[in-house]
A and B are shown apart, each in its own frame.
Chain A
Amino acid sequence: MILNASGCLDALEAPEVARALDAFVTKTVTPLPREGNRPVRIAETEAGMLNSIGLENPGVEGLLAEKLPRLAELGVPLWVSVGGFAASDYAEICAALDERAEVSTIELNLSCPNVEEAPESAAEIVAAARPRTGKPLYAKLSPAATDLPETARAVQAAGADGLSLVNTIKGLALDERTLEPRLGHELGGYSGPALKPIALAAVYQCYRATGLPIVGMGGVSTGRDALEFLAAGARAVALGTVLFSDPEAPGRVRRELAEELAARGLAQPGDATGLAQAGGTVTVA
């Protein structure tokens, strides 16, 4: 299963790219509209890029009234990424989304590196959101957590149905000439190929810790990358930075993954899940 990473595709601007996915994940929606951060918002580095978009979005009312009906016309399952500045924000948005049949899954963005975070822990936010929706809840976590497997176990105990691993990690890029930060917001979220080993470790550890379904992401550019995420324990992969350089990446990665699986005599992607785990595949409850 191939998704986009939240914030890495506008399905209404590029419907042909969204239709090539198994599910489309929206850009994170917050209670009120946000203009996002002032420019400059992106900076390429040697092995990836930084962004500081700052959760630009039309707010939950704008999403529900204007975007969701149009997104539903794409015919692709919709995941809505939810953000906020307090646990109650997440809970309120989940309650509003719960009433909408167009939404298949909710991803809680618990780890945006570009905005002030909610004061509550990831588990407290999941616990606040859980009773407000019957839709599957995925917790998107930062690889920067001190004890990521522990965080994963905590969100599982709070009622998360799955994990999205990982979000970007904080980074800084300096101007070649002036040595000043290249981003207007100074620090940004680092993504791209350099994130892959970090993301793989997160998937590997959290799969062992929880057995939850995992969407793996962080530097997935090829079918081989996707295979590695599955082997580490992911059930699905999401494409982020690669979509910027290759809008045809969903179809290409899917083809390449099929070739990788066939070369190993694996009938379907699920057969690869957890193959990297030393103790064999973890039994998923």
Chain B
Amino acid sequence: MRRRERLRVVANEAIGPYSLLRLERGGLEPGIPGQFFMLEAPGRPLPRPMSLCQAPPGELSFLLEAVGTGTRALAETQPGDELHVFGPLGNGYRLDVEKPLLVGGGIGVAPLPYLSEQLGNPPAILGFRSDWHAEAAVLVPNAESVVEPTLVTEPLTDLVTQRYKVLACGPEPMLQAVRELAPDAQLAWEAPMACGYGACYGCSVEIDGVLQRLCVAGPVLEAA
């Protein structure tokens, strides 16, 4: 059940170029891996959608990359600060998968630690822009990391022949490449969102020519 509460920042830890924002959980439920929360971005008119990264006891944590005004404001929060958080929202991954394989690219690793935990730490392939970015691989057990120019599709090409079922999150070009190799993959997409709960109609993504409101249809969609 989604709720909105003001949560206290426990810690804001740097992992490579990313920030792991740890919040007290309050009365919020962690939800299903792949679901997301709207986090108040201090000083900004709109909150920002963030998928849950980890759900340790009493906490919710979010991995973010300070690339815009909102994520920069979130990356600068200090322990003791309080933020309105609303969630969990949207549809997460289906977890009834026999032989899961996690695939993440860049900040798309964000939902994978919680997903990995819920699935019993299956193998994972992570792709990053640089060795510095690849420091985030420490969050995902059983992960093989590749750094550009090597792409996740390289190790993935071998593994999909072994009947692995792919659960992926990453930039759109990566998702498009993954679905070509693994047509039945579950893919977590990304779009700018104003509300996260179907109100604004702003997060529509065009997939195969069809527009879908990502916050209510996704963010996890079946590839096929």
Residue positions of A touching B, CB distance < 8 A: 7-10, 13-14, 17, 27, 35-36, 38-45, 47-49, 51, 53, 56, 176, 192-193, 241, 243-248
Contact = CB atoms under 8 A, between A and B. Distances in A.
Q: Dominant SS at the A interface? A: loop
Q: Which 8 pairs across A and B sit closest by C-beta, in order of nearness?
A: A13-B198, A42-B202, A244-B195, A244-B194, A10-B198, A53-B201, A41-B202, A9-B199
Interface string B44-77: 1111000000000000000000001110000000
B200 A42 contact: yes
Given A13-B197, A44-B194, A244-B46, 6 more contacts: A14-B198, A40-B192, A42-B200, A44-B69, A49-B45, A244-B47
Contacts of B205: 39
Nearest to A54: B201
Contacts of A40: 191-192
Q: Dominant SS at the B interface? A: loop
Given A40-B192, A246-B84, A247-B86, A56 B201 contact: yes
Given A14-B199, A246-B84, A247-B86, A36 B45 contact: no
A53 B194 CA distance: 12
B176 interface: no
Interface of B: 4, 38, 40, 44-47, 68-70, 84, 86, 191-195, 197-206, 211, 216
A243 B70 contact: no
Contacts of B40: 245
B46 A44 contact: yes
Contact of A244 (B4, B84, B200, B204): B200
Contact of B197 (A7, A14, A39, A48): A14
Tell me which of A10, A53, A248 has the highest count of chain B C-beta atoms within 10 A of its own C-beta.
A10
A27 to B, nearest CB: 7
Nearest to B211: A35
Contacts of A35: 211
B2 to A, nearest CB: 9
Tell me which of A38, A53, A244 has the highest count of chain B C-beta atoms within 10 A of its own C-beta.
A244
A36 B202 contact: no
Contacts of A193: 45
B3 to A, nearest CB: 10
Nearest to A45: B45
A8 B216 contact: no
Contacts of A17: 197, 199
Contact of B204 (A14, A39, A241, A247): A39
A238 to B, nearest CB: 13
A222 to B, nearest CB: 14
Given A36-B211, A193-B45, A8 B200 contact: yes
Contacts of A49: 45-46, 194
Contacts of A42: 192-194, 200, 202-203
A53 B201 CA distance: 7
